[in-house]
Amino acid sequence: MWHRPPSLARPSVSLTCRTGRIGLPHVAGTQLRLRGSGRRSASRVMADANSGAVDSRNGPTMLMWLRQDLRTHDNPALHAAFKAATAKQGRVALVYVWSPEEDTSEVNPAPGGAMRVWYHNALAALDAKLKHTYGAGACIIYRHGPYNEALLQVAVSLGARSIYANRRYEPTMAQTDARVTRQLKQSGVFVETFEGFLLHEPQQIAIDMTKWVGHFGTLTPFSLAVSKLPPPPKPLPSPPHLPTHPLPPSSAAGGVALEQLGLARMPRCPDGSQIDWSKGIKDAWDFGEDAALELLACFVSSKLRQYETKRQLADARAVSRLSPYLHSGELSVRRMYHTMAQANARQISKTAWRRVLWRDLAYWQLHHWPALIRDPVRTHYSAQRWTDTATRGGRGAAWLKAWQLGRTGFPLVDAGMRELWATGWMQQSVRMVCAAFLTEYLNIHWREGAEWFHDTLVDADLAINAMMWQNAGKSGIDQWNFVMNPLSNAQDPDGNYTRRWVPELAALPTKYVHCPWEAPAKVLADCNVTLGASYPHRIITDLRAARADNSAAIAEAKRAAAGQWADAGGYDLIVVPKGASTTYDGTRMRIFTKREWRIRPNGELAAAETTTSGSGEKSGRAGGGSVAGATTG
């Protein structure tokens, strides 16, 4: 398959975010009004509902409020709505309200462009499945927000007093849900919420640091804390049938067509033609819970056995590719957990088993550091010197643009960034190579990378993205203790992944595909490669010096604050949020700190720098692997 390089694929939106919304917080006002109805009192609204204005002869309607749970299997809220409707001879109706402004704040960016496209298609798939399985009356009612107004109107029109929803954990979303629940309650409509998005809710987990099993906030002590909780509940089956309204309730409830929500609206060129940047995403993925369950079955039956040895490969042959389905809730993480447990995943691949827990760890971090996407967990790292990317025409802005477009001149980085743009996804090790290239070699702020990933990933997840970018930028709890060398061919030993996404280099022999600048002139000519023309020159050439500069920038920030934020061993200190640990609430605690930044309160380095890159940085040669530290599993 041939893919156009991104620079050709997106002529007029080349460097704007797909939504144009990132970094522009829109917090909705809290005063919500019923549009077109003036200030009708809540009691009047409910009186209308009960006066026979709607057909509620067969018992009340139970309203299922869909959000990040676009599935029928193991959907606790849907299950409860089904049970209540069955018991009361009522009906179930499903509603999806699009109101991103209410969920957005400075620390909770609006959904990115790729994720909106994903949601559009996931909703369409669920709608089709619901109608096919349960009849036409099971269609989803789509509404624009505000939530309170939309839900109240739907409730009134269908005679519903109960709304069922699965909980959301992003900070602004959780606040919005609490507010909407209060507002609806005042109108006589009750929202009942359920666990269904995580294996364990973050507030249940407090890390016990009295016995040392690993640094605070890393996976080992976290999983020990989790192991003391009851295992995640067994997944629920899909409702066998849904007692729905005989006719599609959408028009009665003021619903609009899915397209009208505008989730997948594409930009237009000046000549009126449409730029469909979502085509690559739609070509690369099947949407819906059936597709997710098929991928899960394939993962446990075949890929899992290769996970331990081949998970680092860029072509994703050994990983599940389930992340976008988990984020949209097309796949229940509890279903994944129990399916993996049944397949003995823990014995087959310890790493795969731990990966699923990483997701909960990210939500635990987000719970305790709600500004994770903006503020360094190691607060003193906020003074770090970064490359200036704001000056138009400056070197930093050009570097950032080259990284985003996949035109850095480093083939593996470019391949990853182009795959990301085209399909909305990258395998984990490639994400790490690209993230490390931006932060460690270009010394560009991790927030720039997080923002770009948020807009372009179909699995863009506030908690995981923020945690991983903070770790890549070294200000996170688990700062990376390894080097992800852009010249390493560990992720793509045969070069075929790079050839696929960087077709300009497709004809090069494997020996040169990751380092075309080393190829003799004749080889380049024979392969139709002209560096600087058909493929860009490297934007930096001295990798070792570049990384040393980033390391020095971190050391400067550390040294300036070491009196307050370093312990005697030079380890960084953080204030432990209340409830995060069983014993250290509100006090300072040391967290893992890479040797080269163990700077004592007196400003001296605690230990000589011993980290080796093992990566061919000096020679500039490809072939070196990444040095994995203890914090990668």
Ligand X SMILES: Cc1cc2nc3c(=O)[nH]c(=O)nc-3n(C[C@H](O)[C@H](O)[C@H](O)COP(=O)(O)OP(=O)(O)OC[C@H]3O[C@@H](n4cnc5c(N)ncnc54)[C@H](O)[C@@H]3O)c2cc1C
Q: Contact residues for ligand X (CB under 6 A)?
A: 319-323, 326-327, 355-356, 358-359, 362, 427-428, 431-432, 435, 453, 457, 459-461, 464-465, 468-469, 472
Whose Cβ is closer to ligand X: residue 362's or residue 515's? 362
CB of 621 to ligand X, least distance (A): 25
**Cβ atoms 429, 490 nearer than 8 A:** yes
Residue 353 known to bind ligand: yes
Q: Among residues 171 and 249, whose Cβ is nearest to ligand X?
A: 171
DSSP code at position 108: B
CB 198 within 8 A of CB 365: no
The C-alpha atoms of residue 484 and residue 218 are separated, in whole angstroms, by 20
Other Cβ atoms closer than 10 A to 331: 26
Query: Min. distance of Cβ 149 from ligand X in angstroms?
Result: 31
What is the nearest approach in angstroms of ligand X to the Cβ of residue 425? Answer: 7
Q: Is 448 exposed, middle or buried (0-12, 13-18, 19+ CB in 10 A)?
A: buried
Residue 592 dihedral angles phi and psi, to the nearest 5°: -55, 135
Distance CA(308)–CA(355), nearest Å, equals: 12
Shortest approach of ligand X to residue 209 CB, angstroms?
Answer: 22
Q: Which is nearer to ligand X, 102 or 459 (CB)?
A: 459
Q: Which is nearer to ligand X, 453 or 565 (CB)?
A: 453
Give the Cα separation of 503 and 388 in Å (integer).
31
113-134 helix and 446-456 helix, angle to the nearest 10 degrees: 30
Least spacing, CB of residue 409 vs ligand X, in Å: 21
Q: Provide DSSP, 517-586.
A: GGS-HHHHHHTT--BTTTBPPPS---HHHHHHHHHHHHHHHHHHHHHHHB-TTS-BEEEPPTTSBSS-TT
Residue 281: CB minimum distance to ligand X, A: 15
Measured from the CB of residue 464, what is the shortest distance to ligand X in angstroms?
Answer: 4
Instruction: CB nearer to ligand X: give 269 or 298.
Output: 298
Q: Quick one: 160 or 435, whose CB is closer to ligand X?
A: 435
Q: Which residues have C-beta within 8 Å of that of residue 106, sequence separation ≥ 6?
A: 25, 371, 374
Least distance CB 551 / ligand X (angstroms) = 19
DSSP letter (8 states) at residue 173: H
Tokens of 315: 């072509």
Q: Is the dihedral of CA 547, 551, 557, 560 positive or negative?
A: negative
DSSP structural state of residue 629:
-
Contact 114, 456 (CB under 8 A): yes
| C-alpha count within 13 angstroms, C-beta hemisphere, residue 289 | 24
Q: Which is nearer to ligand X, 367 or 431 (CB)?
A: 431
Q: In terms of CB distance, is 216 or 453 closer to ligand X?
A: 453
HSE-CB of 292 using CA atoms within 13 angstroms: 26
Residue 69, annotated as binding a ligand: no
**Shortest Å distance, C-beta 420 to ligand X:** 10
Residue 283 known to bind ligand: no
Binding residues: 307, 353, 459-461
Binding residues for FAD: 307, 353, 459-461
